[in-house]
Amino acid sequence: MNFLRNSKIAAGLLVFLRVYIGYQWMVAGYGKITGGQFDASGYLQGAVAASGGDNPAVQAWWGTFLEAVALPNAELFTFLVMWGELLVGMALILGIFTNFSALMGITMNFAFLFSGTVSTNAQMVLITVFIIAAGANAGKYGLDRWVIPFLKERTTIIKKRKQDKEVAAA
């Protein structure tokens, strides 16, 4: 674990994993956005249908969630999938908010797996686990190298100002 979280060699290897996964997400999202044909409702209906019968491919609890929450809001889910895939992909490629992006990507992968789609989702989950486990080292060679310290500094300054105002008011 120390190697994965602290090694420069691991950080370099993680760049390749990050860019690979990011590219997969970005291409999928871009294709959905520019294709003009993507509508999640058909996919959702298929997953709900697969939750019934003698040998369901989708667990009943997930099918119930899809039927009660996702299907009535299919337009929202269509938007979230298209833009979520594109933005997660871009963020992973650029190495910005890497851990959050990987977490959102793995959440989408699990949602697709729960819905009965195998495809490359299991492989993407496995690779993303390494990115998440690496923590900050996964974004070391990316924009996180500058963005995260900047945000930490800004947060510290804001907290200091707030404390100073509280002391002055007392």
The per-residue pLDDT for range 85-142, each reduced to its tens digit, is: 999 999 999 999 999 999 999 999 999 999 999 888 999 999 999 999 999 999 999 9
Q: 23 and 89 in contact (C-beta within 8 Å)? A: yes
E strands along the chain, which residues? none
The per-residue pLDDT for range 144-167, each reduced to its tens digit, is: 999 999 999 999 999 999 998 988
Q: Taking the CA of residue 94 as centre, how many other CA atoms within 13 Å lie in the half-sphere pointing to its CB?
A: 15
Give how far Cα 40 sits from Cα of 27, 36, 104, 138, 155, Å.
17, 12, 18, 31, 39
Q: What is the pLDDT of residue 36?
A: 83
Report d(CA 93, CA 125) in Å as an integer.
16
CA–CA–CA angle 123, 26, 15 (5° rounding): 65
Q: What pTM value is reported for the model? A: 0.88
Domain boundaries, the chain: 2-143
Which of 123, 26, 127 lies closest to 82, judged by CA? 26
Q: What is the pLDDT of residue 6?
A: 92
DSSP 51: T
- Residue linked to tokens 């890497």: 98
Q: What is the pLDDT of residue 47?
A: 96
Kindly indicate the confidence band of residue 1, based on its pLDDT and cuts at 50, 70 and 90: confident
Report d(CA 79, CA 21) in Å as an integer.
21
The per-residue pLDDT for range 42-80, each reduced to its tens digit, is: 999 999 999 998 899 999 999 999 999 999 999 999 999
Structure tokens at 88: 């997660």
